[in-house]
Structure formats: C-alpha cells, structure tokens
Structure 1
Amino acid sequence: MTTYDDPGFAEQVEPFRGELVAHCYRMLGSVQDAEDVVQETYLRAWRARDRYDEQRASLRTWLYRIATNASLTALRGQGRRTLPSGLVPERDPRSPFERGEVPWLQPIADARVPGADRTGLRLAFVAALQHLSARQRAVLILRDVLDFSAAETAEILGTTVVAVNSALLRARASVAPADEERLREPAEREQRAWVEQYMRAFAAADVDAITRLLAADVVMEMPPMLNWFTGPDSYAVFMRWVFEVNGTDWRTVPVHANGQPGFAAYVRRDGRGSYHRHSLQVLALSTHGVVRNSVFVEDDVLDTFGLPSTVSG
C-alpha cells in the first residue's frame, strides 16, 4: 500500500483503487501488472498533487489519465497476453500437451474489483482487447467501457477527438465477435443453475452429464498449454482422459472471476487425506449451456484468488 505524507490526499484517491485496478487489468491482461501500475499511478499522482487543477478535470479523470498513460508505458516492448484460441490453430484433444512460453492472459477475481466496475471484464472480451494496438485498446476501454466522452478521452490520451473517433471505429470492428458471447448470456439465476449442474457432474467425474451441459460450439482452453479444441465430442474425449489420469475423487469450490461464474477443482488421488488444488475453471454460458471453459492451473494465478492448496475430505 502506498503511504502518503498528506493523509487528505490518500482519503481522496483511495476510493478509486478498485476501478483503476480493473482499468489497468483490461489494458495489461495481468493482475499483478495491473496492481503494480495502480501503485505507480498513485505515486505519480502524489508527486503531482500540487499541479492538479480541479477546474480542468475531475479527480477521477485525472487519475485515469495517469493510469492510462502508465499502462501504455508498461506495454512498450511487452508481448500481447492472449489465450490459446487466439494464438494457435485448434488441436486434437488426443494430441500431446505443448506448453507455450508466452505471457498469458490471467483471470481476475471478482473480489478484487467493485461490482459496478466488472463491466468489460469477460475473459473473451479482455482477450480480444489484447489483439488491438495499445492506443486502440485504451480508446475502446475509455469510450465503450468507462463511458468517457470523445473529448475526455482525447484529453486523457493527449490526442484529438478526430483521432479518438477513428481509433474507436477500428477497435469496435475488431472486438465485435468477442462481445457476442456476452450478448448470449442467460439470466443470472439460469447461469447459477447451469454452473451448479456442471460442478456436480465434474465432482462425480460423470463425462456424459458434463457433455449434456455443453453448447454445440463450446471451446476449452488451458493456458499455459497451447492445446485447445471445440465441440462436445472433443470436450468429452479430453475429460475422459482427465479423469483417467487424475482419478474420480473430486471436490469443487465456487469461484467468480471476470464477472463470470466458475469453480476451483480439487482432487484426491490416494483415496484418503486432503484434496489437492488442481485448477481454476472459468465458465461462459449461453441459453444452450457452457460455451467456453477457460482452465488455469499455474500456482501464481490460483494464488491471486486466495485458494487454499488443500481442502479437507
């Protein structure tokens, strides 16, 4: 936590921390990088506090200007954070695993972001953002997610309204397919019912039950592995392999990430003792069932959700 000599300054800016983390996460695709940039934003703001002119911009707009430009600086020389489905062709579910040594898009726990600021955090949407140029990404987020005006966006980015509008048109065309996933989502109550059914089927290692819950165009991907595939048949082949290798004794813990439902999966392989952390699975749903399962297994990602390494039997 940043410390300030001026407690009044801290009192003014700290309420914006959660939404700034969400903003920087959209820009950077990494929870840790987003939190680092927000810390840098507050340090820059504190150093420049005597130059802040409330007649020119609100405190919120001023902080977003600093955070956006700090994010653009952080993005220089960095590779895009994406998901396997946006990087390589689809693989056969029986093919050997191949690890991709690239910076992967990370999920973010809903608990880290205020509820009102989870708009535009869907994994598929954030993944699509990463394929835009850094400046197009910033324009789209500021205009379409955060509802800044074209003039405010131009002020934040130090450019013109004409340039903002041009970048926005190109960016919208690029991310439109990813936004369709959000438009297909059922009501929250229906989503909970789908997820509860999926969790029960997974805990029971019931592949047939899992398959019945999948949409025809379902996608499964598992960074850092490059392997990904589509369709219930391929999904079922992979899940049978998962249960064959890991066993059929599982526990699930509900999790919410990127404004989406999901769960942490824990497995017990020896028939006794604790269940060990296996994966975090973030689900996207339509009225036809699960349309995407993004599975994360790396400890540094799972640790950001505060998931214990074991749960009791």
Structure 2
Amino acid sequence: MPDEHEFARSTEPFRRELLAHCYRMLGSLDEAEDLVQETYLRAWRSYGTFEGRSSLRVWLYRIATNACLTALRNRSRRALPSGLGPPADDPDISPDYGTSLGVAWVQPIPDALVATQQDDPATVVATRESVRLALIAGLQYLPPRQRAVLLLREVLGFPASEVAAMLDTSVAAVKSALQRARARLDEAAVGGERLTEPTAPHARALLEQYIAGFQNADVQALERALRTDASIEMVGTRTWFSGIATCLRYLTQVVGSSGDWRMAPTLANGHPAAAAYLRGVDGIHHAFGLGVLTTTRKGIARVTVFSGGPELLARFGLPPTWEPPLAKRPAPEQKSPRLGVRG
C-alpha cells in the first residue's frame, strides 16, 4: 500500500484545479465534487504503480477526465433557461415550472472553491474566465470527448500528445476534435463579449447598485444598473426575459416593498453575485438564492437567478437566515454597573 502521508502531500495541491476541471466538464458542483472524490480514490488505489512516465498532474487529469467521461455517458446536457427557447414577452405570466421537468440545470460555483487570494493574480483571472456561466453553458453543447479535448488543450494548455495519451486516442483525433469543438462554440456565440473583472471598481459599483435597488425596492436604481439589452433568467424554470422594458416590468413585481429583501455580496463563476434573503411572514429574512451578474463597462448585461435556498447559500459560507454585516450590527446593550451600596 502507498504511504498515506506521501500520497496526500503529493496530490492535495491539485484538488482545487481538479474540482474546476470536473465542474467545467459537468456543469454541476455537486457532481464535480463527487468526481474529484472518485479521482482521488482511483489514484490512491493505483498510486503504488505510478511509474512517473508522465507528471503527477497529467496522471491525475487523465483519471479525472476519464471519470467525467464515464459519468457523462447517456446523460443529457445541463442548461440555462436561455438555452432552451426564446425569451418570454409577458412577465405577468407565472414562470414555466411545469414543462421544465426532466431538465438538468447548470449549477453555480463559488469563486472561493476554485481560486484563492494566495494564487498568482494572472492565474485567478484565467480561472475565473474559465468558469464563467456563458462558457459553462456553452460547453454543455459539445459532445463529452470534444468538451474534454477543448478544456485540456485550450483552458489547461496540455500539448496534443499528452491529451491524446490521456484519452487513449491519436494526436490527429485530438486536433480534429478541437477544431470541431471550436466551430461549435463559435456557433453558440460563446465568449464574444468582454466582461469586467468581478473585483474591479466598476463591477463592485454595479453590484452595490443592484443590491440597493432590491433592498430599497427602487426599480429606478435597477434601471440605471441594467443595460438596455439586459436579460434575466430564472434557473429551475424555462422562463427568461430580454430587453430592459420587459425586465423592468418583471422586477417591478418581485422587488416588493422596501426591506423585503436583504442581500450579501459574493463571487460566483467569475462574476459578482448577490446572495438574496426574502422576508417571510415571521418577519425573518430567509435564504432565497443567488443572483449572478454578468457585468460590462456599459452595465449589467444579464442576471442569472438560482433559487437554491439555504442549501445553495451554505455553499458560499452564508447562513440560512439574514445576518447583517458585523459593522452594521447594533452594539450590545451596555448595562450600568450596580454600585455596591448597602441600604
């Protein structure tokens, strides 16, 4: 049996990037975490026979990629509402839940799981770009092996010869698959627009404006934050809206009254995001979900809403009910000391 401490010391540094890779392949954080665990289990079982013919990183990616390809057999692609049909033109109609049965949805991923402040800044930027929602949704249109080739070659930069070895195929087959994958992504118009970094001042300002608009029930503030061609989509339904006029009609219905919503800023899929809490009949703000903002220099281009409740927000390290930031919490009441005076 391999030495447990040696195995952990050698392989653990790759866990975060392997999670990002499996997430790109699957479009699901839940499944990606399971596949990373499967990767480490397979690696542990065969670590004693690892002969170093390739680097340990290449070896782990080979295991992870093939585990993902096995998981993707006979499985339909994950989607966002905008990938299932045209936008709705009437926000007064209830979202289309009934016909969404059987659809597997793209899940969001916290930036903190795939990039840390200790990473090289260029690596952080590249990682964020590689998990953007538009790319993750676009990748789902590719057959699994084309998806794997594109990610291994274009995102991770492995040479064609190493990718061929990972997938037990030829270099010519890898080059052909990459060409077809690129063409298909071009057809889906993925990655054509330059987005702002989620930590850039402009992106942070748009997020603050979005949060203030909801918390104050200020539709005009939301209008100022959105682009004229903005879109809103509600994951879990087939419903999405396009164009600021339709989006504002929808937002007017959901912002409610001032104080109904409380939101906390976070980062998801390389985007600024707002963790949303909605006030219940008990007066408590309960976890609702996540609004992921696609931000550009001209404003918010898209809001993708994931209504995952407390389970989703727990992924981002957030509580099930609203807790104000520490700086805004009222100071504890100071009791006056009792003087020791005897009567």
Q: After TM superposition, is the score higher than 0.5?
A: yes
One-letter amino acid of the counterpart of residue 159, structure 1: T
Q: Distance in 2 between matches of 1:189 and 1:208?
A: 21
Q: Distance in 1 between matches of 2:261 and 2:83?
A: 30
1:83-232 to structure 2, matched below 5 A, reads: 83-92=80-89, 93-99=91-97, 100-101=100-101, 102-115=103-116, 116=123, 117-176=127-186, 177-181=189-193, 183-185=194-196, 188-232=200-244
1:218 counterpart SS class? strand
Alignment partner for residue 79 of structure 1, among 73, 76, 85? 76
Q: Residues 312 and 42 from structure 1, CA distance in 2 versus in 1: closer, same or farther, beyond 3 angstroms?
A: closer
Q: Distance in 2 between matches of 1:232 and 1:307?
A: 31
Bigger Rg, structure 1 or 2: 2
Q: Which has the higher contact order (CA 8 A, sep 6+)?
A: 1
**Corresponding pairs, count:** 306
Contact 1:80 1:130 (C-alpha < 8 Å) held by counterparts: yes
Quick check: 91-100 or 14-23, which moved more?
91-100
One-letter amino acid of the counterpart of residue 127, structure 1: A
What is residue 61 of structure 1 aligned with on the other side? 58
- Displacement of 1:312: 4.2
What is residue 308 of structure 2 aligned with on the other side? 298
Q: Distance in 2 between matches of 1:17 and 1:189?
A: 31
Q: Distance in 2 between matches of 1:302 and 1:38?
A: 21
Structure 2 unmatched ranges of 5 or more: 117-122, 325-343
One-letter amino acid of the counterpart of residue 272, structure 2: P
Contact 2:164 2:171 (C-alpha < 8 Å) held by counterparts: yes
Alignment partner for residue 23 of structure 2, among 22, 25, 32? 25
Q: Distance in 2 between matches of 1:229 and 1:168?
A: 33
Alignment partner for residue 8 of structure 1, among 6, 9, 13? 6
One-letter amino acid of the counterpart of residue 135, structure 1: R
Q: Distance in 1 between matches of 2:323 and 2:11?
A: 41
Q: Distance in 2 between matches of 1:132 and 1:40?
A: 23
After TM superposition, what 4+ stretches of structure 1 lie above 6 angstroms from structure 2? Answer: none
Contact 2:214 2:255 (C-alpha < 8 Å) held by counterparts: no
Contact 1:296 1:302 (C-alpha < 8 Å) held by counterparts: no
Q: Distance in 2 between matches of 1:252 and 1:124?
A: 24
1:229-308 to structure 2, matched below 5 A, reads: 229-244=241-256, 248-270=259-281, 273-299=283-309, 300-308=311-319
One-letter amino acid of the counterpart of residue 133, structure 1: P
Contact 1:203 1:251 (C-alpha < 8 Å) held by counterparts: yes
Quick check: 184-193 or 196-205, which moved more?
184-193
Task: Give the TM-score normalised by the residue count of structure 1.
Answer: 0.92
Q: Residues 43 and 312 from structure 1, CA distance in 2 versus in 1: closer, same or farther, beyond 3 angstroms?
A: closer
Contact 2:24 2:131 (C-alpha < 8 Å) held by counterparts: yes
Structure 1 unmatched ranges of 5 or more: none
- Displacement of 1:161: 1.3
- Displacement of 1:197: 1.6
- Displacement of 1:133: 0.4
Contact 1:273 1:312 (C-alpha < 8 Å) held by counterparts: no
